[in-house]
Amino acid sequence: MSPGLTLVIVSLTLFQVKHLICDYVLQTPYMYLNKGTYFHPGGLAHAGIHAVGSVLPVLVLTQTPWLLAAVIGAEFIVHYHVDWLKEQITKRRGLTHGHALFWAIFGADQFIHQMTYVVIVAFLARETGL
């Protein structure tokens, strides 16, 4: 396996671990109960934990300060708005865990987060010449 491909796989793996920890271990009721209120500190804190958690996977691919800042900032903004939108849709439709559509929207939310990591890694691979 080429060194560049190894770095990509390591970075994607770290993103997966980060996502598990930030979305399922570190997320508190204060965060998940308030993600649907725009600019609520709970939702901002949740997105902030994700942004901080993304530093290590990004550092695997670049140590360039402006790239690091741009990617971490974009991760924060995208993660925050994806979560906010998911909450808007589920609340406006009155969806709960017992509705099939709730799970489809939850799955779409998780898919978008995962695709964000793929886009980040592809962007950094291109920018760093991997």
- Label residue 27 by pLDDT band (50, 70, 90): very high
Average pLDDT over residues 70-86: 98
| Cβ neighbourhood burial of 95 (10 Å; 0-12, 13-18, 19+) | middle
- Label residue 76 by pLDDT band (50, 70, 90): very high
Percent of the chain whose pLDDT exceeds 90: 96
Average pLDDT over residues 20-40: 97
Per the structure, the complete domain to which residue 96 belongs is given by: 3-128
pTM over 0.85: yes
The predicted structure's pLDDT at residue 95: 96
- Label residue 88 by pLDDT band (50, 70, 90): very high
**Measured between alpha carbons, how far apart are the two ends of the chain, in Å?**
13
Token pair, residue 40, equals 């609520």
Domains identified in the chain, total number: 1
For the stretch 47-56, pLDDT in tens is: 999 999 999 9
Res 130 pLDDT > 90: no
